[in-house]
């Protein structure tokens, strides 16, 4: 819990684009103490947590890492809108799979809608190929023990499909890294804008980003 809090506290300050000193002054603590809070060195008292939530205009649950909704709503599978259009979902009954599917579907929808506003065909192509390749690689691993799996997925030998996928994805990454939008066409991807334009879908995207970020931070330790 304290790890989530320290990380979120730091991200909120950087998102607000203010210095640690300015935030510390507003919250009534020293810069050194705020630094300890943001780095997880010390655990703050309840009064500071409440003050921070009010200062950054977020809920206590969000600040403590219990929800990705800044207003405090908790994300559950049954609460996440599913825009895939499936009436008889074959994953019904598996809560973990249902939630994961909904989060991925909704997050992808937001991403490609934002890309459409960027109006860069090469970027759209690179993102599509990257995600398609990642899906193909994942499917190959999931289906590797089933001899009846779709034959289209097995044209590339088991011995090299993973490396070929990695190479393809790296190529897409290199293109995405240097791609810049035309003047005035850069998409606004701030939390406020995403929440306003995609009220049903933004929580899924934020949940995905938060989850992967936490996992990557764990890998760094």
Residue 27 has pLDDT above 90, yes or no: yes
Identity of the highest mean pLDDT range in 33-42, 78-87, 208-217: 33-42
- Integer Cα distance of 171 and 21 in angstroms: 42
Domain locations in the chain?
A: 2-74, 120-180
Per-residue pLDDT tens for 169-180?
A: 999 999 888 876
With beta carbons less than 8 A apart as the criterion, state whether 109 and 202 touch. no
Indicate the fold that domain 2-74 takes in CATH. Answer: 434 Repressor (Amino-terminal Domain) (1.10.260)
- Integer Cα distance of 68 and 203 in angstroms: 6
- Integer Cα distance of 174 and 170 in angstroms: 6
């Amino acid at each position: 819990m304290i790890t989530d809090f320290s990380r979120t506290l730091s991200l909120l300050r950087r998102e607000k684009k203010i210095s640690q000193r300015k935030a510390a002054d507003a919250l009534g603590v020293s810069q050194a103490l705020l630094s300890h809070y943001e780095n997880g060195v010390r655990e703050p008292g309840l009064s500071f947590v409440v003050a921070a939530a009010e200062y950054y205009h977020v809920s206590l649950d969000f600040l403590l890492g219990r929800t990705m909704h800044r207003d405090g709503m908790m994300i559950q599978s049954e609460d996440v809108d599913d825009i895939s259009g499936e009436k008889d979902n074959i994953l019904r009954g598996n809560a973990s799979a249902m939630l994961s599917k909904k989060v991925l579907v909704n997050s992808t929808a937001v991403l490609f809608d934002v890309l459409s506003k960027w109006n860069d065909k090469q970027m759209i192509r690179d993102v599509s190929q990257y995600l398609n390749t990642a899906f193909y690689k994942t499917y190959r691993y999931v289906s590797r023990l089933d001899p009846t799996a779709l034959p289209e997925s097995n044209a590339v030998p088991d011995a090299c499909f993973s490396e070929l996928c990695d190479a393809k994805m790296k190529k897409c990454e290199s293109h995405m890294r240097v791609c810049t939008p035309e003047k005035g066409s850069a998409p606004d991807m701030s939390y406020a804008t995403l929440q306003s334009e995609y009220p049903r879908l933004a929580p899924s995207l934020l949940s995905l980003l938060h989850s992967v970020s936490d996992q990557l931070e764990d890998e760094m330790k």
